[in-house]
Chain A
Amino acid sequence: MANHLAIDNAGPGSAEARLANALLGFKVRDKAFHVLTLAAAWTVLILLGGVVASLVAGSIPAIKAFGLNFLTTEAWNPVTEKFGAMAPVYGTIVTSIIAMAIAVPSALGIAIFLTELCPYALRRPVGIAIELLAGIPSIIYGIWGLFVLAPFLQEHVEPGVISLFANVPVLSDLFAGPPYGIGVLTAGVILAIMVLPIVASISRDVFETVPAVLKESAYAVGCTTWEVVRSVVIPYTRVGIIGGVMLGLGRALGETMAVTFVIGNAHKISPSLLSPGTTISATIANEFTEAVGDIYTSALITLGLILFVITFIILAISRYLLLRLHQREGL
């Protein structure tokens, strides 16, 4: 009431009062917007916290039942409710290693091509094509792997590989058994195709940070193109390349659909790369909706927790390395 009187008393100065009111409104709205955006920023953190908390809460029954043995047990038997994570963890790691072994060299090749060799007019189109490949959803790779790649490997590649290495000591175990088509190797190849554009486009961005003057100096003292790449570009960007590779690895470890289609979902560790296996994400995708009983569900959530911890560490290292590169670039 007093406030109103004060404004009324201002009489002829009521325009001033309206201005004061408007300014107050501005201030309140500004503050409100500030708080709103701050809350949204916190929500991102809470989201991650929620993910961790829910995974931990969900995995408590399984951890109570199996303890650390969960990690070292290969058995996975829903009937007797005996669960161990070893087979899926093994499959996850092996498929990712195969994927990185194939994808990293070719991704670096593409990045070198795009930054050093490519005619200027072609740079954008080729770069965009590679990025489009990175945007294709993983289920597309999955269905393609199932209907095209797996039969192709089964009929044309695997029999040859098996007979080729039949008498070589270690390799005969790695490439043994009937050619199923679906299996650990096929999953690794599909993952490689998926990861390739991711690593390639990050490596390209990283290679572009090399100052032209460094490369020009190397060319001026007579280096060949390969020597410039080998002795200037790669050493200068090593941290960034590792960051990009780790990012690709994080993707490969957590990739679900592309792998689920072609790995065969067999809970066993087999020395042969041609036999069916499983990965953490494939196990969850295949079995979660059919899981009966608390322990079964909880075992699957514990697998999710393991996957999350592994990928979190890998991705954190990757982001840290890429961040370091950006900071150096900024200096």
Chain B
Amino acid sequence: MAIYDTRRRRSKFYIGLCFASVAIGLGWLAIILGTLLFEGFRNISPAVFTQMTPPPGSEGGLKNAIIGSLIMTVLGVAIGTPLGMLAGTYMAEYGRHSKLTIVVRFINDILLSAPSIIVGLFIYEVMVVKMGHFSALAGAMALAVIVVPVVVRTTEDMLLLVPDPLREAASALGLPRAIVIGKVAYRAARAGLITGVLLAIARISGETAPLLFTALNNQFFSTNLNAPMSSLPAVIFQFALSPYKEWQQLAWTGALLITLAVLVLSVTARVLQMGKPGK
């Protein structure tokens, strides 16, 4: 019986550790979100959305940064999504068992977790150096490069979840492959495909490293794609590390806006995916 007691005690001990690690893991989430809400909402006001980023030592808002982030995110998604969807379509539909698919899947998974600062360096080399100056377009391209692997991955996964009998039924009617994909597979996987795009937006809306030396930053309002553009993450980076109280406050507010956007996007993506086959 002594041995059994020891074993039970040991089991209790390790299980206790598991509970502790869950408490810690969720504790971090609570503390981080708590601080963010407290610091972010403390200073939120309409001015945040209507005024430009201020010079040091005075009040202001984040309008140019918010608009800049929106422009570059929309552009990045608009460029990256079609490419990613087409590649994912190839992998799930035309080349399901081809060697190319296996290689692309492997490389894509690596791109998915590759350091984003590397993407920044890549776009700097191929666009900023060639054009001779930083630009919003380069920033959007860097974001697009990050969007592609996310969309490729979800497109392939979601199309593979579509039952094959649907495709076979459509093919049996004599429809060519392209129409089977466009009218049947895409439609059946629509919620999943939208989820992929939402996740991609969530992923890039907080990306900072690839923007630092592509879109740079801009303390003024600009919609010129050929010139440096401000973005929320870049402003947070600059303001948080500054010694000015007003700037630090705005950095917190910006961080709150990004987090809320990311959480809303991820939760929406999850809700869309609920009740879908296989997920």
| Chain B residue nearest in CB terms to A322 | B109
* A138 pairs with B36, CB closer than 8 A: no
Interface 9-residue window, one of B48-56, B59-67, B120-128 = B120-128
* B121 pairs with A304, CB closer than 8 A: yes
**A316 part of interface (Cβ distance < 8 Å):** yes
**B222 part of interface (Cβ distance < 8 Å):** no
**A308 part of interface (Cβ distance < 8 Å):** yes
**B221 part of interface (Cβ distance < 8 Å):** no
**B131 part of interface (Cβ distance < 8 Å):** no
Residues on B with C-beta less than 8 A from A41 are: 86-87, 90-91, 95, 100-101, 104
CB under 8 Å from chain B, chain A span 100-119 = 105-110, 112-113, 117
**B116 part of interface (Cβ distance < 8 Å):** yes
**B1 part of interface (Cβ distance < 8 Å):** no
**A55 part of interface (Cβ distance < 8 Å):** yes
**B70 part of interface (Cβ distance < 8 Å):** no
* A113 pairs with B21, CB closer than 8 A: yes
**A257 part of interface (Cβ distance < 8 Å):** yes
Least CB distance from A329 to B in Å reads: 14
* B104 pairs with A109, CB closer than 8 A: no
| Chain A residue nearest in CB terms to B32 | A144
**B114 part of interface (Cβ distance < 8 Å):** yes
Least CB distance from A292 to B in Å reads: 14
* B90 pairs with A38, CB closer than 8 A: yes
- For chain B, the bracket of interface size reads 35 or more
Q: Which of A47, A117, A255, A319 is in CB contact (< 8 Å) with B15? A: A117
Residues on B with C-beta less than 8 A from A227 are: 7, 11
**A253 part of interface (Cβ distance < 8 Å):** yes
Residues on A with C-beta less than 8 A from B39 are: 147
Residue picked from B25, B31, B95, B206, most chain A C-beta under 10 Å: B25
Report the bound CA distance from A144 to B31 in whole Å: 10
Q: Which of B113, B255, B267, B270 is in CB contact (< 8 Å) with A143? A: B255
CB pairs A–B below 8 angstroms (18 shown): A29-B176, A33-B177, A40-B86, A54-B125, A109-B17, A109-B21, A113-B18, A113-B22, A137-B233, A140-B258, A142-B240, A148-B31, A224-B7, A225-B15, A254-B113, A285-B212, A289-B212, A312-B110
Residue positions of A touching B, CB distance < 8 A: 26-27, 29-30, 32-34, 36-45, 47-48, 50-51, 54-55, 57-58, 105-110, 112-113, 117, 126, 128-133, 135-144, 146-148, 193, 196-197, 200, 224-227, 229-230, 247, 250-251, 253-257, 260-261, 281, 284-285, 288-289, 301, 304, 307-308, 311-312, 315-316, 319, 323
Given contacts A41-B86, A140-B32, A316-B106, 9 further A-B contacts (CB under 8 A): A43-B148, A51-B122, A109-B21, A133-B25, A135-B202, A224-B11, A284-B121, A301-B121, A323-B106
